[in-house]
Amino acid sequence: MTQAMINRLTEKQRHLVDQAMALMDSFYDAEMELLIDEEQSDRHNTRSSAHYALGLLIRSGEGDQERAAGLLNKVMDLQFNVPDEIYHGTFRVSPQAALPPAGNYNWKEFAPGFAYFLSETTDKIGKRLGAALSREISQVLPDCDELTVRGYLQSAVDEVLPPVWKSYDPNWREFIASTFAVILEEFADVLPAELVSRMDESMKRAVSASIDRRLSDAVPMNSNIELMHIFIVHYYGHRFAREDWIRHAGQEAAAFLAAYAEFGSIAEFNTTTYYGVDLTVLGLWRTYGCSAAFREIGKTLERGMWSNIALFYNPVLENLSGPFSRAYEMEMTGHSSIGVFLYLALGAGYEHLAAPNCETTHDPLIALAGAAIPAELLPQFVSFGGSRRVEKQFRELCERDKPGENRNLCTAAAWIEERRMIGAMSGSRNTNGQMHPATIHWMDTNWKDAAGSSRYYLRLIRREQGKSWNSHLRGMIFEAEVEKDLLTATVRLDTEVPIEVLFEITGPGLAAARITPERWTLPGLGCSVSAAAPSPSIQLDEQGEKLEIIYLHRPEDGVQEMAFTLRLDPASE
C-alpha cells in the first residue's frame, strides 16, 4: 500500500484488504485478465474482477496498478452497448456466458410492470396450448404431457425475448458502477487518462440504463439494488454535472427514506445475505456522498438498519435470528458481510466473524467505507441481554407479482434465548425460495468441537420435487407464529407439480438423530411434532450434517393445507 493509504487505514481495515487480496490473488487468470469464479472454476466473474481491481489499487504493490488497469479494461470489454435492448449498460457476468437474444423486444414502449404481465400471459398461453397439443401429441409420444409442451413454449419464448437472470443480470450495472465510483474517486490520478475517460463513458451508459430500468419498473429493484441505484445516480450525477440525475437521486433517496419510516424497516428485512450489501452501500453513501443532505439520509438508514440487526442478533450464537425475508444460508458468516462490519466495530477477538466466504471480494469496498454501528448498540453485539420476544413489521417486495399488489405487510417475530432462537414470518406472499418463514437456531453444549460447542439450524423451505429450493414458485403461502418453546406453521398449496415441503436441519452428528412423525430428537434439541400433513420421508446426507424431513404435496390431491406445530423441550441452562 502507498504510505498515504497505510496512514489512512486502520489495522483492522488493512487486515480485511490483505485477507481479501490473498484470496483474489489465487483466483487471478493472467491470460484472461479476470478473476476465475470461486464457485464455477470453468468461468470468470466480472463483478469480482472489479472488486479485485479496487483491492490492487489499494495495495499498490509492484505491478498492481498495471494489473488493475488490465482488469478494468477487460470488464468494460464485457459491457453491453446496445441502447435498444433491456440489458444495455449492464455487464456480462462472465465471458463464458451465452449472449442474450436481441432485436425482438421494444421494451421501452411498454408500461411499467409489463414484465409481470408478459410472464403471466405466457403462462396462460402455455396452459391452453399445452392442454390442446398434449392430447394430440400424446398419441404419438406418450411421454409428452402438458407440462412438457409448456416447457417447449417457454424455451421458445426465451430464445426470442431476453429472460432476466437466465440470459443477463441487470444488477451487474449497479454493482460494478458502485465499485467504479470508488475507484474513480480514490485512484483516478494514478490511472492512465485514457482508462479514466473510458470508465467515465462506461458509467454514462450504465447509469442512464439503470435510470431507464428504475422508471420502467421492467425488472423491479429490491432494497440492496435500489440503494446502489440511488448512490450511483447521485455520485455520477455530480461527477458529470447532470442536474437531472442529481434530482432523480434526491427524489429516490427521499422516497426510500419515507418508505423506511413507516415501520423503521426495509423490504429485504432481517436478511444476513442482503444486509451485508445494504451496509456496504450505505457506507458508500456516508463516505462518498456529494452533499450533506444525501449523506444524512444514508446515516439515518444505516443507524436504523443496525438497530434492526441488534434487535434480532444473539451474541452467544453470533447470528441473526430468523425469520429471513431473503437468505441463502442460516449461518451469518456463510453468505454475508455482516460479520466483517462487526469485526471492524468490535476489533480483536472477532476476526473469525470476518473469515473468508463467497462475499469476501467485497471487503476492499467495506474497508474503505468502514463501519458505523451506533455506540449505544455495541453492548448488544458483545453480551447477551436476556431472553426476549421481538417483533417487527415490514413491507416486502414480491419481484414477480403485479405492480401495486406486490408490497405485502409482513410481520417477523422471534423468541431469542441465550442458546436458542425461534423465528416465524406471517403475511408474506413472496414466491422466492429465499424467504425462510420458520427457523430455529440452537447450540448443543454437550458437543465439543474446535470452538467448544456446535451450532445447528432448522428452516422450513419448499422445492419442486427433485429440484432446488432457490427458485420462484407460485401457489404456496406460508404463515408462521412463534412463542416460547413453540413454533407453528401453516402451508397452503395450490400447485400443478409435486412440491416437497421440508424441514432442513444442518449441523454435526445428525446421524444420531431419532425422527418419528410425532417426535424429533436432535443433538441439543428435542421437540414434539403435530403435523396435519402426509407421512414424511427422511433423508440424511453422507456426512451426517444435513437432515431433511420431507412432506410431499401431490397436485392430484387438489388444494391442500399442511399444518405443523413444534413444541420444543425447554432449553437447558
**CATH number of the domain encompassing residue 252:** 1.50.10.10
Residue 146 pLDDT? 66
Cα 114 to Cα 403: distance, rounded to the nearest angstrom:
9
45 in the same domain as 152: no
Residue 573: inside a domain: no
Spatial CA neighbour of 333 closest among 249, 417, 275? 275
Output 355 or 165, whichever has higher pLDDT: 355
Degrees, nearest 5: CA angle 103-76-58: 155
Mean pLDDT of 421-447: 94
Mean pLDDT of 78-107: 94
Residue 451 pLDDT? 54
Cα 542 to Cα 390: distance, rounded to the nearest angstrom:
37
Mean pLDDT of the chain: 92
205 in the same domain as 320: yes
pLDDT tens digits, 196-246? 999 999 999 999 999 999 999 888 999 999 999 999 999 999 999 999 999
Residue 112: inside a domain: no
pLDDT at position 401 over 60: yes
370 φ/ψ angles, rounded to the nearest 5 degrees: 75, 175
Cα 339 to Cα 355: distance, rounded to the nearest angstrom:
8
Cα 554 to Cα 551: distance, rounded to the nearest angstrom:
10
268 in the same domain as 288: yes
Mean pLDDT of 454-473: 93
Mean pLDDT of 418-440: 96
Q: What is the DSSP letter of 435?
A: -
Mean pLDDT of 449-465: 84
Cα 149 to Cα 146: distance, rounded to the nearest angstrom:
5
Spatial CA neighbour of 538 closest among 555, 550, 546? 550
Write down the pTM of the prediction: 0.95
276 in the same domain as 236: yes
Residue 498 pLDDT? 94
- Express as a percent the part of the chain with pLDDT over 70: 94
Among 20-24, 113-117, 463-467, name the most confident range. 20-24
Cα 330 to Cα 484: distance, rounded to the nearest angstrom:
20
202 in the same domain as 331: yes
306 in the same domain as 241: yes
Residue 145 pLDDT? 66
Q: Which of 186-190, 276-280, 468-472 has the lowest mean pLDDT?
A: 468-472
Q: Which residues pair with 395 in a beta bridge?
A: 409
Spatial CA neighbour of 394 closest among 222, 218, 215, 220? 222
Residue 127 pLDDT? 72
Residue 229 φ/ψ region, left for φ over 0, alpha for ψ in the -120 to 50 degree band, beta for the rest: alpha
Mean pLDDT of 433-444: 96
Q: What is the DSSP letter of 460?
A: E
Residue 415 pLDDT? 98
Residue 118 pLDDT? 72
Cell of 250: 434526491
Spatial CA neighbour of 420 closest among 487, 485, 514, 488? 485
The Cβ of residue 122 has, within 10 Å, a number of other Cβ atoms equal to 17
Residue 181 pLDDT? 98
294 in the same domain as 211: yes
175 in the same domain as 149: no
pLDDT band at 253 (very low <50, low <70, confident <90, very high): very high
pLDDT band at 336 (very low <50, low <70, confident <90, very high): very high
Residue 344: inside a domain: yes
Residue 110: inside a domain: no
pLDDT band at 446 (very low <50, low <70, confident <90, very high): confident
145 in the same domain as 217: no
pLDDT tens digits, 489-509? 999 999 988 999 999 999 999
296 in the same domain as 189: yes
Residue 108: inside a domain: no
554 in the same domain as 415: yes
* Domain of residue 563, residue span: 396-568
Domain count, the chain: 3
- Helix/strand/coil percent split, the chain, to 5: 45, 20, 35
Residue 209 pLDDT? 98
Residue 219: inside a domain: yes
pLDDT tens digits, 175-203? 999 999 999 999 999 999 999 999 999 99
pLDDT band at 131 (very low <50, low <70, confident <90, very high): low
pLDDT at position 454 over 70: yes
pLDDT tens digits, 362-371? 999 999 999 9
Output 25 or 116, whichever has higher pLDDT: 25
pLDDT band at 400 (very low <50, low <70, confident <90, very high): confident
Residue 107: inside a domain: no
Spatial CA neighbour of 305 closest among 343, 350, 274? 274
pLDDT at position 376 over 90: yes
The residue out of 378, 404, 435 marking a domain boundary is 378
pLDDT at position 23 over 80: yes
Residue 139 pLDDT? 57
Residue 432: inside a domain: yes
180 in the same domain as 304: yes
410 touches 325 (CB < 8 A) = yes
